Every structure is written in structure tokens, then in C-alpha cells.
Amino acid sequence: MTLTTKIAWDDTVLPFQLDRSDIRGRVARLDQTLGRILDQHRYPAEVEAMITEAVLLTALIGQTIDLRWKLSLQVRGDGPLRLIATDFYAPREPGAPGRIRAYASFDATRLEPGVDPFRQIGKGYFAILIDQGGGTKPYQGITPLAGGALKSCAEAYFAQSEQLPTRFELSYGRSQTPGEAAEWRAGGVMLQHMPKASPLMQGGGSGEEGLLAATDLMDEDEGENWTRANILLDTVEHLEMIGPRVAPTDLLLRLFHEEQPRVYDPQPVEFGCTCSADRVRQSLSIYSARDIGHMTTEEGIVTADCQFCGAHYEFDPKTLGFEAEVPADDASRD
């Protein structure tokens, strides 16, 4: 594969449809976008694995929704890996890239090297939040952490909240082209069955902890189509997904040529953070003069760092807080 072709498919999400099976999907390839996210922090390997999986899921899910502003994925647990947070921002205009950012919070003293990264989240929940912007009410869907992987949690979310049979297959790792430095690459495939009707399911499902499973949502014919597509996806290879030598279009033909795949325009994604001095100042406006005083350094400034991109901000404390500047004698009593 030529370098031009490699670059053309990096950091893109390719929508497709399997006409024979009433199944839609996405193929994602992340290269520099993932690198920018991980390079902001020096995460341990276990944290890198989980944040990479979360970013892949966010790229795939974000492109399936008629999104006007932001989709967020959050994973919270009581283990050493306490929080994974990602945001996907809708393109500013048609053809523009969607923007992704992510970070993780963890207790380095409790992380266990070599232990399954998902287990280090502990007990908690997986959530999808959709905010369509001003004048709208944000939506939130929550499912328990189950299934042994974040992709399983995402599949359970779609079954419970959207009643859409969904499958994710993800792969990631460091890749090195001869003569070039090693870099993070990731790839994933999402399948989603579009049923003729989506009856509201009552009671428990056949999945872990009574959660609904994909097969609980389909009739016999739909189930056969879904099973066939999943068997074909099971044959995908690690390097096929992450690339760069196999184009997503070639991958779809290799996997699903009998399912009559139809592809649409690829959708670019990139790293992007919405933090700014004004936004940080606004977030600090909820604090009182007393609180701002406690935040002020010996040098007489208030500092703040963006957890997503690492940007560093410094402010004059007199310009912060919801209270007017207090007189010096009052401030001394604080």
C-alpha cells in the first residue's frame, strides 16, 4: 500500500451498510488522533489500553448519531482505574472532522501490572451522555460494568437503552514501519442490526446480570442474519483492523462480500479540546473570594491545568470568583 493510501484512511470512520442483512456499521482507523491523546499524559500500560478502547468506541458511536454538539463516554469504578472520560464533538460543518479528547484518573499505587486492565476499574458503571447544545436537555444512558471489556459494556448499553443489537470488534497497539518511529494505531468495526420494529422488552434478558443481549431483540430471520454477520466478523485479524496496509474498503470486501457491503463517504476525526482561558475563568466563577484565596499560590496567581490536553492557565485572583474583590482587612481574616 502506498503512503498516500495509508494517510487517506488514517483517522477516519467509514460508514457502511450490509444490504443483504439489514445491518449498518462503521470501520474506524485512528493514528495521530490517538497519539495526540496518549501523548498528553504518560499513562501506565493498563490505563493506555483502557483509554484507547474508550476512544475507539467514542469514535465509532459518535459518528452514528445525528449529533449537533457533544457525545461523552464515561466509565467510573471503585478500583485503581477510577475514571475514563471521552468527548466527541460534532463537525463544525459538513466534511469537517469530528473532534475527540480523553483522559483517565487513576491511583498509581493500586494499579497491578500484568492484571487485566478492565478488572482494574472494579465495580461501577458505563455511561453515554448526549448534549445537543443550548436549549436542549442532555440525555444520559447508564449500564453496569459487565462482560469483561468496555466493548461489552457498550453493546449492553445499546441493547438496554436503544434496543439495538450491536457488536464491536476492536484492536490496538504500537505499530512500526521500517525506518519510522513506533506509533500507536487502533482500529475497530461496529455492527448494528436495524430491526423492522423495536418492541419494548419487559423483564430481564439473557445477558450477564440479566441484561438484554442482541439475540433478545430479534426474530428468527433477523437472528440468522445477525449470527452470520458476526461469524464473518469473527474471522477478522488484528493487523487488518489497525492497518495501515489493508484499506477499510478492502477489509469489508474480505469479510462481507456475500452480504453486499455498500460504503459511504469516510468521516475524518482529529484530536481537539475546547478548553480556553474564558472557559476556565467561567468555571472558577462559582467560587467565593475565600475559596480563591486558598487556591492562590505564593506567587499571587491562581493556576489551572486542562485534564484533557494539558494546557496551563494562570490568572490574577482579583479577576476570579463570584464575589467582588474584598478589602485587604477582610481578606486577612480569611
> Average pLDDT per run of 10 along the chain, which is 334 residues long?
59 95 94 90 92 96 91 97 97 93 96 94 96 91 94 94 93 76 87 68 56 68 90 93 88 95 95 88 84 87 88 87 52 38
pLDDT digits (tens, 9 = 90+) for 44-78: 999 999 999 999 999 999 989 889 999 999 999 99
Q: What is the pLDDT of residues 95-144, one digit of tens each?
A: 899 999 999 999 999 999 989 999 999 999 999 999 998 889 999 999 99
pLDDT of residue 324: 43
For residue 8, the one-letter residue type is: A
- Note whether 3-271 and 277-333 share their fold: no
CATH topology of domain 277-333: CBS domain Like (3.90.1280)
Residue 90's SS3 state is coil
Of 128, 118, 52, 48, which is closest to residue 80 (Cα–Cα)? Answer: 118
What residue ranges do the domains of the chain occupy? 3-271, 277-333
pLDDT at position 326? 44
Q: What pLDDT, on the 0 to 100 scale, is given for residue 263?
A: 96
Q: E strands, the chain, where?
A: 12-18, 23-30, 70-77, 81-89, 98-106, 124-131, 139-144, 166-175, 183-193, 261-263, 267-271, 302-305, 312-315
Class of domain 3-271: alpha beta
